[in-house]
Structures are given as C-alpha cells and as structure tokens.
Structure 1
Amino acid sequence: MRPSSSSLDLFILTFNCAKALINVPVFSAHLYAALSQNATATNVLPDLVVLSLQEVAPMSYAFIGSYFLNPYYARFVEALNLASTRLLDHTKYGGYPESVSSQGTSSSPPPPPPYTLVRAKNVGMTSILLFARDPTSVSQIQEAECGFGAADMGNKGAVGLRVTWSDPSQRDKSTELTFVATHLAAMEWNLKKRNANWRNIVSGLTFQNPHEVLPGVFPVNEHPTPRPDTSGAGIPAPVARSLLPAGSVDSSEAEEEEEEEPLLSSSSAQLPLAQQGLTPSQAATLQDISIFKPNSHLFVAGDLNYRISSTTPPPLSTFPSFDEGSPNHYSNFIGRDQLTLEREAGRTFHGMEEAPVLFGPTYKFDILSSPKGAVNEMAVRKGVTQNGIPEVPWKFAPHRWPGWCDRVLFSSAEEEEVKVGGYDAFPVLESSDHRPVWFRASVTLGSSSESRSGSELKGGVQRKKTLPVPVDVDAWERRRIARKKEVVVGWSAFFWSTQEGAMVLGSILLICLGGWWAVRGW
C-alpha cells in the first residue's frame, strides 16, 4: 500500500491472549486475510509489524521474565511468517485465494522467513513485539515501561518502543516512531481509572531517565512513594446511585476526575515544584523523552477496556447484533463508546486520532462447546468458514456489556502524516474472549538532512504536541523498585500455582529427604 518511495508501510495488531497459547494455523489464516486486504503489486507485505499483546501468559511467567514468555512469543513469530510466506507465494504465482489452504510439501529448502523479530519487551503480562522485513532498516531502539498495579507493578501497565526506520532504498529518508502496548483497567465502572492509566502513561512512560538527561536539575529520590493502584483489580461493582440510561457515561465522575488532577492546559494546573523553574530548553528535553515527542509518530494499541456503559448490564439487556438488518445492529451502539466520548471531551488520549470504527464489538465472548444457543448457531451448523477456518460458536457474556475494548490510536509527527489503509477485527477465536484488532497505515518519511531534530524544535517554535500532564521524573526509580517486587511475586506464584513449580518443590523435598536419610544412616 506504499503510495510513494518515501513512505513506511506499517501493520499493528492488538490482542488480549487470555493467558493462552494461540493456535498457529488458525491465527495465521486470519492474519493472512488481514495482510492480503492491503497488499499491492509494489508492496505485498508491510515494512514493519508491531504486535501489542495483553495477558500474553500467566502472571507467574510474565513477572519472572522473557525465558518463560519465549514459547508464547514463538507462536506469534511462526504465525506471522507462515501467513507472510503464503501471501508472497500466492502473489508470486498470481491471485489471492479466498481461503488459506494447507501448505504443500516441497523438496526444495524453505525460504528464509519474511520477518525478523527485532525486539520483544514486556511489562508484566503486556508485551510488544517489533518485526521488520529488513532489520537493518531499524535503528536507535529505545524502551520504556510503567505499571498501574499495586506498588507500581505491571499486572496492568504499558510498554513502549521508540525506533528510527530508514527506507532501505533511500537511506536519507527516515522517520521516528513510538509504539505503546498497554492494558488499561477493566470493568465498566472503572472509567476514571482508565483515564488515570492514560495519564500514568503520559507521565511515566519515558524513554530515558529524566535524572540522566537533565543531571542535577531534579532532587534525587531513592525511595519515591508508589503511585496509587489504578489497575482496577479487586474493586467490586459500585452500588447504583442513579437511574442512568443504559450505555450512558456518568459525566459527574469525569468532572471529578478533572478536578482531582487538572491538565497542564488548564489555568488551575501547576507543574510539580521541581519542574516550575525549568528553562524552555529543559522543558522541551523532558517532553522529548516522553511519548509526546513532537517529531515522532505515536501509536498506542491495546486492550483499552473502554466500554459502552459505566454499569453492568441488567437482566435481559439488548446487546449489539452483527445482523445488518437488525435495529440492534452494532453500529447503533458505537455512539455510547466511552473512549470516543472521553477523548472528544478532552479527558483521555489527548491529541490522538482513530480511524472510523466500522467493525463489531471485540469483547466479551463466551465460547461454546456446541452450536446450541450460539449467536451464530445456523452458520456453525452449516459449516460456514471465515478465511478457511470454521466459525467458532459464541455468544456475548451476559454479565458484561459488549464493547470495543481493543483499539489502535495514533498521532502523527509534526510536518508528517499517517494515512490509514485499514482498521478491522479478526473473527472470534476459540482461545480468547477478545477479538484481535489490526491497523495498517502508510507513514510519510522526511529527509534525514531536512528533518528538524528534537533540539532544533525546541528553539522558539510552538510545538503542536503538548504534554497534558507533567512528566514523572522519578518514574524510572519507581519502576526499578517495582520490578524487584514482580520477580518475588512471580517466583512465588510459579512455585505454588504451576505444575513446573510443584515439580521443582517436589524434587527439592525428595533431595532433602534423601540427604537426611543418608546423613542419618551414615
């Protein structure tokens, strides 16, 4: 879909994996269909692919680290390269089939995989995977992370990558991109916490330590106070306070939220004391390490968890329908979407854009063991397939409003643009109660010699991108302390809640007993 030689073809996919391994052939088939929708004769595959994965693995594995996550990542690597190889093959031999057939055997050696995993990073159960067709086109990789949970831990959180991509055919053409994968607070009633999660991302997800980029400017705080737990974990549903119409947003809550923490654009807002004396150059340096760097394209993808109501559905509620002829078609429910309402009101995702949401709800699906009672019962019984895969029998979970939880938003760099080519969702998958959502766009490239650097943007030029909340200069120290706690929690959960951990404990116990008997007998 590259319109000219000076653009980047980008594909982003977000998926809440429900802590389960994906079915590679199934995922690959749907991924193939998504990739083929925007394939062209000149650019069959995207230059970069970014996966935002939430609940990628059980918490014990995720808190311990990458070794236990590698088997989960490996399946996505396999699925992407399988889909990409098939698409290249079908393009080479002409035509795009309507479904994906099984790969035929061949005596020739397999070609090299189309994509290379350039970087994988996680915070708790949220991961980001960056793939490139040409890994040499990616440089200057930076990482960032923050947690929303108790003691800043990452049971919910955000993880980011910032990279420079150069056109392999024109090395003087490049652009900087910032990718954020996140999982915000769940439950209908946690609207304020979701907005607070966003503010935490803006303030705490920094790609360099503020104390290092501005040495001596801020007082050293080796034991910063943990931020409040905004993960929403364990918070019960509130008692109904009013008879709000189903699907409405409690505006009083949002107003209270603004009063609790005004935005920097508000006349009542004040910078933290340590930042009040910053020079314009120092303030610009601080912004440049945040996600709101002016000359960097920003993409945020994840399970954002915004719903269509701030209360749970009462019995016999009318849910969205996928039947285009129904008066309850899902297009009649998207107007209740909390994310759109809050974003347009200036309470969350400030300055971000989103392509039109034309697909149906992506959450919450109950996967059924038989067609009986399924929303798509007739299609399942008839053996209807999507992308060559039989439909999964499902219905909406009755205790949650169906919603568009899984989203991709973006903000283009100054003087450059993002042209959206596709924004859609996968069919229902058997392994999760969420549907994956994908996004494809063309990103214009500036000339390396002509594009203004971050430092050049600082001097006397009014920036279009402005920080809605101040940068947390102690975020790196908070995260360092939280990571130590995650390792302790992860290993504790591993030993007491997994089969592998039980085997290790059993082996240790047997060794100790054997040693005791040996010493006693000796």
Structure 2
Amino acid sequence: MSTEIDNFKLLLFAFNCGQVPHASTEIRNAILSTIVLQQPTSQPQTSQSPIDLPDLIFLSLQELAPIYDCLLWRNEDDFLTPFIDAVTHLTGGINDGVFEHVATCSAGLAFAVLFRRVSSSLSMSNLRTSVVTLGYFETGLKGAASIRVNVSSGTLLTEITFVAAHLTANEGYREIRDHNFQDLARKFAFFTDNNVNFSKEDGTDRDFLYKDGSQVFIVGDLNYRVALPPPTPLLSQGTAIAEPGPASATADQRKLAGNYSRAPKWVAPQHSFVEDWLDYDELTISRKHAGTAFFGFDEADVTFPPTYKFDSNREYALGRVPSWCDRVLYFDMFEGGSGVKVEKYASLPELDGSDHIPVYAITRVPFKKPGPLSEQLVANLLKNNIAASTAARAQQITSRGVSLDRQVAPTAIRARQIKLQNRHIAARSGRIKNMEKLIGGLVYLVLSPAGNGILLAAVLGLVIAYVLLRTYPPGII
C-alpha cells in the first residue's frame, strides 16, 4: 500500500557530453556523489549507510554522440546506454535496479531522459513528448526535447514539464538565444493523446509550454555567455575612464577583455573576480533586466565556477571567456514563492571528458495545487506572441509600460501559434529530416575516419578515371 506524500525529491542534471563517450561506472560514481553529499556529515558514509535517493531523476544531455550518429544514422544507443545503466543501477550492487527508465525524448543532439525510483510511492501517467529543432535549416543541430507527465501520490497529483534544451552557441549571440527560447515557447505542442496530429486548426487536441498548473523545468546547455565590456580605455595622462559595473571587477576585466589570456582559477568560498562576472551574464540580463526570454522562470543563486570552456588539461581554454552555459531554470506558479525549493545547485567537475562541466539541482516539488498563470505574465506572453493554456484573461493590463487591450488577441495568438506548430511538425516529418541526413552525411565524410576513407577513395577514383580518359580517348577502348 502506497504512502501519500506532500512533496517529492527531484534531481535535475545537465551535461553537454562534447560528443565523447562516457563509461557507465564513471557516470554512476559522479552522479552518486551528488546524492551522498546531501547526507548528514556527523557519521562517515559506508556501504550500509542509508542514501536519501531522489524520487525522480531527469537527465538533459547534449552532444551525446557525434553529429552523424544523431542526424544520419539516428543510432545513439551506444552513447545513451551508459547513462541509462548508470542511473538504473545507481547504487551498484547494494540495491541493483533502484531506478526505472520511464521515457526518452530526443531532438537531434538534445536528449531528455526521465527516471523514477522503483521504491518511491509516486506513480506516473499521461506521459507526452514534444520536440523543437532550432539548428541551421531548422535541423536538430540545436533544439529541445520535452517530456510532460502527471506525477501522483495517492490522491495528490501535479503535472511536470521537463525540457532538455540546447540553444545557439558562440559569443555575442544573446538576442538569437532569446529568439530560440521564444521559438520553443511557440512551437512546443503537447497532444492530449500523444498522437502528432496537425490536421486540426482549433487546437483542442494540444497544450502549450505555458499551462495552468504545469510546473516547468528547463535544463541544459543554454549557451548564454559572459559578455564582458571592452577594456577600460586609458587617457594620455595615464588615468582610466570609468566603466559601468562593479569597481572590483575592473582590474580583472582588463586582464581578460580583448585578448582573453588564461583565466585565473576559481577560488571558493573566498571572494573571486568571477563573482562580478555574473553582472555580465547574458542569461541574467535577458531574464531579469531586458525581459526578452524565459518569462516567469527563476534560477537558484549561482555559486559555482563557469562551466565552459575547458581544454584537455581541465583549464579554461585560451581565447575564450569562461561562461555559465549550463543551467537549471524552473517555473514556480505558487504564490509567495512557496512552491519549488532548490536544496542544492552546483557543478559536478568529477565527471570530465568534455569541454563542459555538468551542473545539477536537487529540488523539492510540492503536490499542492499551483495557481493559474498570472494576468501580468499572460499579458507579457501575448506581447511576445506566445500563447498559453490558461483561463487567465489579459485585458487592459500594462506590461512594461505598454497598454494591452487583449479581448480578441488571445484567440488570435493561439490560432497563429497552432498554425506555426502545424508547419513545424509537418516539416519535421519530411523536409527537415532529409536535411538532417544530408548534414549528417557531409559531417560523416569530413570528420569521421571511415568517412575520410570513403572520401579519399572517391577522390582517387575520380583522379584515376580522369587519367584513364586522358590516356585513352573515347573510341580507343
């Protein structure tokens, strides 16, 4: 007989694998250490010590396998299996099979993987998936995969939406990443029967990313960078022109702005110049100040070092500004911030092999019914042409100084978004998949040893054919 609980423990894990395979034991040991660290430290841990395991584990994996494996062959099992094996047998021989693999959803190079603890009193139902691709020609070089599911304990129930995201890379592309998020919010389509049917125009068979009562977690390589200002210009007298921002960061910005030589290592818990860089973190700017992406989402305090970019020596790469690319965001619909509680938000340097360091968050998610989307948020979504599955009305509401009269617009926005979703789903079934195969094939020929061999053989064949044709003109042989 199951025991009813009023909240459950959730582990959210984000890792850009850098197209490098990882061993199951390495993954298991690294993830298990994040759980063991949550235990009381009054007694040393032993093999017999109880471990406070989470009820659910969600993995957001990016660049799990080489591009051609994801796009051309669509065969990532060899790379995904170690992660599934590591989690399902997380405690090794002590409690074998402690987690069960619930679902996997992939969008090109992005993977969403959900697990449930076997001994947990939680049950899951009405599982639905959705994908959005954001790469060149809308291919899966970038994109997001999502799993939406009902989680219940006895008579209590809540809906959770997990999103594994991989947004546009490179420095200076903050606005494009903002548009990536807006595309996700417009194109995600969760069908009531998980049947991708884009023939209906009324939208009664689908929900959007923003939905009353659905708690949302966005986890992954969001690729937002630290946008440091240019070096402080010096006057001829040798005095510096003051730049906006923290005064304590000025000297270190001079060290890194421009040429970006080797970045000093992070020093914790002492004050470090890197702490000042958070003022220049693009995600914080977009979410809190500009208000151009991740509307209504929150993030726990970032207290860990930048997670990108590392070289083979596990040092920050030359010529790159260290940045917090890998993040965990959550949408808390509870009044007064009484909903999702983040117990720990940290990086996991123990799992290496990539140019990223994974991050994780351990949260407590309540079962109490969350409130509806606020009218202020709905007005902001409408302003950005993002529909929401909500009963909230947005009439005569002021959002950032803009008066919005939305008596008819919500229906129009919804219809427009449904048409956008229909086109995207239709393209995913044909044109985009063909383009992914083309890109995957080209990458395979150029970057893989086997592909290089095929390319070399083809070139040699053409050269030999050319020589034969020049030596023996047509009609001689």
Tell me the TM-score normalized by structure 2.
0.70
Give 1:477's aligned residue.
Answer: 426
Take 1:119 and 1:441, find their aligned partners in 2: how far apart are those partners?
20
5+ residue gaps, structure 2: 41-48, 230-255, 373-388, 398-405, 458-477
Match in the other structure for 1:350: 295
Match of 1:71 among 69, 78, 81: 78
Question: Structure 1 counterpart of 2:55, which letter?
Answer: D
Q: Deviations over 1:401-422 (max 9, x none)?
A: 0011100000034578211111
Q: CA deviation at 1:496?
A: 6.4
Give distance in 2, aligned partners of 1:429 and 1:309.
27
Separation in 1, partners of 2:182, 2:163 = 13
Q: In structure 1, which of residues 315, 319, 323 is the aligned counterpart of residue 267 of structure 2?
A: 323
- 1:132 maps to what in 2? 116
After superposition, residues 11-410 of structure 1 pair within 5 angstroms as 11-38=11-38, 44-64=52-72, 66=74, 68-85=75-92, 89=94, 112-134=96-118, 137-167=123-153, 170=154, 172-208=155-191, 212=197, 215-217=200-202, 289-309=207-227, 313-315=257-259, 317=261, 319=263, 321-324=265-268, 328-345=272-289, 346-368=291-313, 394-410=314-330
Please tell me the residue identity of whatever aligns with 1:305: N
**Counterparts of 2:17 and 2:292 in 1: how far apart (Å)?**
28
Give the conservation status (yes or no) of the 8 Å contact 2:217–2:328. yes
1:325 Cα deviation after fit: 7.7
Give secondary structure in 2 for the equivalent of 1:203: helix
Q: CA deviation at 1:498?
A: 3.7
For 1:451 and 1:349, how far apart are their aligned partners in 2? 19
Describe the SS at the equivalent of 1:189. coil
Q: 1:488 to 1:316 in 2, by over 3 A?
A: closer
Question: Unpaired runs of 5+ in structure 1?
Answer: 90-110, 218-281, 369-393, 508-522
Q: Shift of residue 299 of structure 1?
A: 0.3
Cα distance change of structure 1 residues 328 and 142 upon mapping to structure 2, 3 Å threshold? same
* Alpha-carbon separation, structure 1, partners of 2:196 and 2:96: 43
What is the rounded CA distance, in whole Å, between the counterparts of 2:195 and 2:105 in structure 1? 21
- Between 1 and 2, higher relative CO (CA 8 Å, sep ≥ 6) is seen in 1
Separation in 1, partners of 2:351, 2:326:
14
CA drift of 1:123 comes to 1.1
Hey, what does 1:436 align to over in structure 2? 358
- Cα 1:112–1:216, aligned 2, differ >3 Å: closer, same or farther? same
- AA paired with 2:65? A
What are the superposed Cα offsets for residues 253-273 of structure 1, whole Å, 9 maximum, x if unpaired?
A: xxxxxxxxxxxxxxxxxxxxx
The 1:190–1:81 alpha-carbon spacing in structure 2 relative to 1, beyond 3 Å, is same
Post-superposition offset of 1:335: 2.0
Structure 1 residue 190 displacement after superposition: 1.0
1:411 maps onto 2:396 in alignment: no
What is the aligned-residue RMSD (CA, Å)? 3.8
Task: Report if the CA contact (8 A) 1:10-1:46 is conserved.
Answer: yes
- Per-residue deviation at 1:323? 2.0
Aligned AA (1:207): F
User: Residues 434 and 497 (structure 1 numbering): CA distance in 2 closer, same or farther, change over 3 Å?
Assistant: closer
Q: What fraction of aligned residue pairs are identical, expressed as a percent? A: 27
Q: C-alpha distance in 2, partners of 1:132/1:502?
A: 42
Over 3 Å counting, the alpha-carbon distance change for 1:407 and 1:214 in structure 2 is: same
Contact 2:212/2:371 (<8 A) preserved: no
C-alpha distance in 1 between matches for 2:364 and 2:445: 46
For the 8 Å contact 1:205–1:291, the answer to whether it is kept is yes
Aligned partners of 1:190 and 1:310 also within 8 Å: no
State how far apart, in whole Å, the 1-side matches of 2:196 and 2:334 are. 27
Tell me the CA shift for residue 430 of structure 1. Answer: 3.8
Residue type matched to 2:173 in 1? N
CA distance in 2, matches of 1:289, 1:414: 20
* Contact persistence 1:53–1:127 (CA under 8 A): yes
State the AA in 2 paired with 1:24: S
Using the TM superposition, give the Cα deviation of residue 434 of structure 1 relative to its aligned residue in structure 2, in angstroms.
Answer: 0.6
